[in-house]
A and B are shown apart, each in its own frame.
Chain A
């Protein structure tokens, strides 16, 4: 049995057969045509192009229906590239005049374009290189007549193991067939992570090279909680994981009954459980899980498709859909939280050495008012249709907060002049995720309506760890005492000033940590929708006194390891049926 460690990006446990999805290994017939009939070969390729074009057209439609027009646009763009005239001329030239086989011509020409795109140095073009690879694969498959399996077409359920996955591939994953994902590269913010979470497929990325270790039909376990991948697990391990899964499934069955019950401790203290969402169509899933609202609507997906920046209308449609679906329950929208490196074609910043410390998030928005304006206009317009609240990420200085609020007010005025009805009572808040924000919170608190602690980034910044860096990822621990002290301080100041406070990082997905936060005084948690039933169960099984005692003790421990061990222990005592044997 081989045990590997990667980055857990989508929770759950998958047990099954490994299917290695490795384009690099695809055998290309690198030959000249056997016959001198270039014409025949060219006709063969044209037929393959037609088939690929029809498939792309169908995929564009299907993906738009399932995941929205932005992701559907990935396939429309691929189609336009596939039908490029020059591409056909180059291919025909190689086949007719230089006797290349169709396969070799496809491979040669498309690799040339992919390389040119990667060299150009913009993230937009680098993604187009991924599209070119999708097209190449599709054509080679059509030519060989033996379908390689796309993630849509696998015959039996399997766990996919791959070097990485292109946007086109992740967009067509069928969760009934794809049981889990594990990739050699990748991080928590990539396409694979985001789509895996949206589809609730367990996923572990950033494992490093491991595909060469897999043999055909090896069995594999992907642990999306701990970021572990086990190849050919021994019977004992297998049993343990199977038992855990069965256990979780039976809990899940019980939990659906909890949907309409409130998340109250057994002695009546109410905790609001909200949901973190990425996509506009997740609103319904939130309600199905019994969420009290959307505590964090990440708006970055709008920038993930292959097309240009989204328009105000694109933003508005995405926001108003959730506002309506949530029918009066609060929805907290976060303004753009991306780095300059992810922002399409325009180089907003030169190659940054430290993107996390660079021109990202609110800094990017304030530096590009035109961009910011589009998003704010759409949010303000959507705010008339529900209980919308707006939150600024990564606020570091009072200047930033004041400028952002000022811009928001003046944009609201402009909208009113244009005839829109804009509420003047929209709660405006900030994320507390930069250490400076905690240190200066007593000042910030005077100028916001609410705060939300972003534990993901707060943990990174305060422990100086890049959680996507495989070399140090184990230092990233949300239960590190340093992080806990900052959370406590934030809570104290917010409570003193009677300002609403929530925690919206991944930390609260774990029942033990959630109870710790409740014990520290937090009454609003925003978590992955799939975590809501589990947390509700945990909260309903304890008294506030037990949570507070737990928090008191945890805050006096020295290291993350001690806190973690202590919390697991506590959870075992308080909610025994929930404990997962590691």
Chain B
């Protein structure tokens, strides 16, 4: 892969944290990119293309997550993932 590496830090804003629906959304979205995308929280890193991996993070509301993308489309991958977090995964605001 090319040497493009992008990172960002995001906050989990939706009240249920990374439960099934956001985890599924993240996995499906990340899978569209060529880059390897990882999510890290408190020293634990998981593959963002894996719903099981994301669930193991156990991230609830307020958790801070580091997103890392490595590959030819790293920048757009990061931007898209960050956007998902910022939109609170389109869950109804409470």
Contact = CB atoms under 8 A, between A and B. Distances in A.
B88 to A, nearest CB: 12
A84 interface: yes
A122 B63 CA distance: 14
A309 interface: yes
B19 A84 contact: no
A81 B31 CA distance: 15
Contact of B20 (A77, A86, A120, A371): A77
Nearest to B50: A86
Interface in B15-56: 15-21, 24, 27, 31, 47, 49-53, 55-56
B25 to A, nearest CB: 11
Nearest to B51: A84
Contact of A308 (B19, B47, B56, B58): B19
A124 B58 CA distance: 9
Contact of A117 (B19, B55, B61, B91): B55
Classify chain A: how many residues form its interface, as a range: 20 to 34
Contacts of A345: 16-19, 58, 60
Given A307-B21, A308-B91, A374-B94, A86 B16 contact: no
A85 interface: yes
Contact of A371 (B21, B60, B61, B94): B94
Contacts of B21: 307-308
Classify chain B: how many residues form its interface, as a range: 20 to 34
Given A113-B52, A311-B92, A346-B16, A125 B24 contact: no
A85 B56 contact: no
Nearest to B58: A120
A455 interface: no
A568 B20 CA distance: 51
A162 B61 CA distance: 36
Q: Is the interface of A mostly helix, strand, loop or mixed?
A: helix
A240 B13 CA distance: 61
Contacts of A347: 60
B49 A85 contact: yes
B38 to A, nearest CB: 11
Contacts of A113: 52, 56
A47 interface: no
Interface in A332-347: 344-347
A81 B58 contact: no
A306 to B, nearest CB: 6
B55 A128 contact: yes
Given A117-B56, A122-B60, A346 B47 contact: no
A410 interface: no
A346 B58 contact: no
A116 interface: yes
Contacts of B61: 346
A125 B52 contact: no
Nearest to B60: A346
17 contacts: A80-B20, A80-B51, A84-B52, A85-B27, A85-B50, A86-B50, A86-B53, A122-B58, A125-B55, A307-B21, A308-B16, A308-B20, A309-B15, A344-B19, A345-B17, A371-B94, A373-B94
